């Protein structure tokens, strides 16, 4: 048997971080067993579909390196891979269920169903539809329609016994059939709902393993009933623990962003990404851009391998110590037996730690290639870049070191790319460090020393400053902080002498002159 897994996102919203974890586990299982990973778009809910969401879903998978063997933009022998284009197959299955007696036309109104629910609640019993408005024959249907009623197609679920199956993660599972509702599988307009469409498509695509999030566990009885009623072989089921909110037990959701922002680490992650996205002109509304959505990390400049490595460990582990895995190692070691049943909490701090470690391991040329597009987007570097950009940029990236945790962090060092007369001053730092009695005079005097230097590397600049301090009998803090604000506009940043060397003598002198003018103004 060839293993075939699938991930079936719905374009009703952007690619969720928990969904990516589910897709990853499907991808790894298929690759581990030499099988195929299929991407299918479950777009049966036309009213909720967001046209703009599909492209980020596909782009997100490509960016993460989760390639699919069949699906959109790839094709395959089971096309089409959009559920909305497979309605004839779904309608044929609904007819088969009706003809075989496993489903029926129901003519109950919403008010009539609600009255039955309220009666069950009043009598403190589980609601089970009476099937009073069920039509199993054409004559019954004609009578109901003569009353002006319309119908939906419902499953005729068993009322006794149990639905029992083996879950590859949770073991033996059983549901009482009597607690299952007669679920609607086809609307009055002929369109079919998710559960029927999903079962039919899984069978048509020859899916062998349905690996999905735990919240779908309760859907399994009705889907097993549909599959068996249609004569399909059942796939193996595996229900993954959901990705929980930071320091919580509930499933993480983009709709709870305000709640998560009370978590310091989550807020830090969100603020950091939003600042970068805003700088490059990316839409930053909470609906389309926050740390629960994959597009957030792509726009901010995370490494795909860092994201994948972190998500792998949300609900799976090899042992109690190994955290770093290459893609090949992931495929080699992955198994459903090592998936935990308990939810795994999303930890922004740990994710950031993975990102930093992967950035530290990245060759300098790749780091430069990663940050360059961000400088181009804000106009700091020409596109294509000038021939002298790469050496300068390489030095800045090397000097920044671990300060560049994501590619977008290069924008924090804009002082090296803006023109001298356009560099803004951090007014708070300026007031604190420059507008002090005697400080402008010290700066002016030290400027003269810098102007006399023949060499202008960081060693020479440092020696000149220390000599200046000794000669004027002052402390280093009396001058170095003001010097930083003068040449970078900021109160913090790279090493002072590295910054002087990177900017060069002429630019440093010009910026000190401008600082002194600003102080006098």
| Contact indicator for 221, 130 with CB cutoff of 8 Å | no
Return the SS3 of 359.
helix
Token duo for residue 329: 């190692």
Residue of 254, 367, 405, 490 marked catalytic: 254
Dihedral of CA atoms 89, 90, 96, 99 in degrees, nearest 10, equals: -130
Tell me the helices (H) and strands (E) count for the chain, helix number first: 21, 12
Token duo for residue 481: 């902080």
Q: How many CB atoms lie within 10 A of CB 178?
A: 13
Q: How many CB atoms lie within 10 A of CB 161?
A: 10
Contacts of 130 (CB under 8 A, 6+ apart): 116
C-alpha–C-alpha distance, residues 374 and 397, integer Å: 13
E strand or H helix at 62, and its extent?
A: helix 51-64
C-alpha–C-alpha distance, residues 238 and 283, integer Å: 37
Contacts of 361 (CB under 8 A, 6+ apart): none
Helices 439-452 and 458-472, packing angle to 10 deg: 130
Q: How many CB atoms lie within 10 A of CB 506?
A: 11
Query: Is 505 among the residues known to form the active site?
Result: no
Contacts of 124 (CB under 8 A, 6+ apart): none
Contacts of 440 (CB under 8 A, 6+ apart): 434, 516, 519, 520
Which residues, in sequence order, are bridge partners of residue 171? 167
Q: For 77-235, where are the alpha helices, taking DSSP H only?
A: 87-99, 110-122, 138-146, 194-204, 220-229
Residues acting as catalytic residues: 254
């Amino acid at each position: 048997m060839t293993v075939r897994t699938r991930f079936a996102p719905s374009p009703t919203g952007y690619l969720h971080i928990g969904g990516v974890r589910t897709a990853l586990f499907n991808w790894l299982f298929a690759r581990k067993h030499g099988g195929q990973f299929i991407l299918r778009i479950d777009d049966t809910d036309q009213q909720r579909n967001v046209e703009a969401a599909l492209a980020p879903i596909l782009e997100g998978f490509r960016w993460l390196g989760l390639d699919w063997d069949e699906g959109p933009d790839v094709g395959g022998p089971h096309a089409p891979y959009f559920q909305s284009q497979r309605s004839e197959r779904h309608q044929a299955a609904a007819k088969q269920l009706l003809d075989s007696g496993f489903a029926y036309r129901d003519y109950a109104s919403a008010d009539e169903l609600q009255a039955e629910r309220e009666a069950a609640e009043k009598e403190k019993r589980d609601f089970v539809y009476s099937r009073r408005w069920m039509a199993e024959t054409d004559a019954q249907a004609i009578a109901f329609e003569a009353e002006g009623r319309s119908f939906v197609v419902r499953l005729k679920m068993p009322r006794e016994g149990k639905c029992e199956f083996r879950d590859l993660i949770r073991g033996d599972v059983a549901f009482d059939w009597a607690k299952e509702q007669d679920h609607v599988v086809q609307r009055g307009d002929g369109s079919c709902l998710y559960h029927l469409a999903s079962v039919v498509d899984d069978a048509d695509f020859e899916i062998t393993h349905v690996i999905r999030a735990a919240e779908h566990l309760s859907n399994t009885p009705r889907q097993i009933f549909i599959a068996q009623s249609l004569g399909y072989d059942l796939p193996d089921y595996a229900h993954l623990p959901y990705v929980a909110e930071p320091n919580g037990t509930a499933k993480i959701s983009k709709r709870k962003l305000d709640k998560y922002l009370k978590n310091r680490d989550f807020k830090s992650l969100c603020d950091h990404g939003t600042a970068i996205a805003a700088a490059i002109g990316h839409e930053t509304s909470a609906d389309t851009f926050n740390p629960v959505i994959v597009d957030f990390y792509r726009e901010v400049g995370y490494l795909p391998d860092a994201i994948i490595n972190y998500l792998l460990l949300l609900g799976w582990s090899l042992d109690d110590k190994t955290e770093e895995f290459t893609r090949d190692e992931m495929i080699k070691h992955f198994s459903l037996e090592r998936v935990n049943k308990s939810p795994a909490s999303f930890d922004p701090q740990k994710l950031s730690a993975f990102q930093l470690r992967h950035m530290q391991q990245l060759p300098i040329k790749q780091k430069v290639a990663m940050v360059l597009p961000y400088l181009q987007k804000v106009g700091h570097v020409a596109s294509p870049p000038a021939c002298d950009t790469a050496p300068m940029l390489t030095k800045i990236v090397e000097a920044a070191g671990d300060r560049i945790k994501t590619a977008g962090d290069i924008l924090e060092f804009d002082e090296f790319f803006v023109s001298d007369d356009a560099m803004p001053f951090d007014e708070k730092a300026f007031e604190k460090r420059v507008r002090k009695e005697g400080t402008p005079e010290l700066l002016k005097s030290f400027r003269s020393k810098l102007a006399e230097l023949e060499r202008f590397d960081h060693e020479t600049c440092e020696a000149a400053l220390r000599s200046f301090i000794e000669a004027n009998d002052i402390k280093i803090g009396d001058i170095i902080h003001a010097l930083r604000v003068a040449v970078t506009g900021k109160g913090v940043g790279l090493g002072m002498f590295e910054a002087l060397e990177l900017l060069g003598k002429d630019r440093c002198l010009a910026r000190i002159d401008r600082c002194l003018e600003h102080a006098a103004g």
